[in-house]
Amino acid sequence: MIIDFHTHIFPDRIAARALSVLKKQSGDSITYTDATLADTRSKMQEWGIDKYVCLNISTNTKQQTNVNNFAIENNSDSCIMFGSVHPFSADVIQELERIKAAGLKGIKLHSEYQNFDATDKRVFPVYEKIMQLRLILVFHGGTDIAYQDTPTRCTPQDIKKLHQNFKDLIIVMAHLGGYKETQSTLEQIAGKDIYLDTSIANVLISKENAQKVISSHGEDFLLFGSDCPWASAADNVKFIDSLKIPQSKKDALFYKNAKRLLKI
List the pLDDT tens digit at each of the 264 positions of the chain: 999 999 999 999 999 999 999 988 877 789 999 999 999 999 999 999 999 999 999 999 999 999 999 999 999 999 999 999 999 999 999 999 999 999 999 999 999 999 999 999 999 999 999 999 999 999 999 887 766 777 899 999 999 999 999 999 999 999 999 988 999 999 999 999 999 999 999 999 999 999 999 999 999 999 999 999 999 999 999 999 999 999 999 999 999 999 999 999
The count of domains in the chain is 1
Query: In terms of residue numbers, what domain contains 60?
Result: 3-262
Are 247 and 218 a contacting pair, CB within 8 Å? no
Centre a 10 Å sphere on the Cβ of residue 244 and count the other Cβ atoms it contains. Answer: 8
pTM over 0.85: yes
CATH number for position 64: 3.20.20.140
